[in-house]
Amino acid sequence: MNHPMSVLKGETEVKVDLGSAKILPNVILLRGKRSDATKALEIVTDRQTELLEAWRRIHCD
């Protein structure tokens, strides 16, 4: 399932697919610093369950 979200920091934009219960998040677009994308992916992976729940509340209700 595709659950995209954008992460912005300064001049960097990272689009991350949140994945699912069985699939880890992954970067699908990077405009800017790779180090910012790495940090964003780390944070999204750590909070995946919480972010998926929020995504579903926003997009599925």
**How much is the pLDDT for 21?**
86
Q: What pLDDT digit, counting tens, does each position of 34-47 carry?
A: 999 999 999 999 99
Q: What pLDDT digit, counting tens, does each position of 15-27 carry?
A: 999 999 899 999 9
**How much is the pLDDT for 30?**
96
Q: Are 41 and 25 in contact (CB under 8 A)?
A: yes
Number of structural domains found in the chain: 1
Backbone φ and ψ for 52, nearest 5 degrees, come out as -65, -40
Give the model's confidence band at 1: pLDDT under 50 very low, under 70 low, under 90 confident, else very high: low
Range of the structural domain that residue 14 is part of: 4-60
- Please give the structure tokens belonging to residue 50: 């919480």
Q: Are 13 and 29 in contact (CB under 8 A)?
A: yes
Work out the mean pLDDT of the chain and round it to a whole number: 92
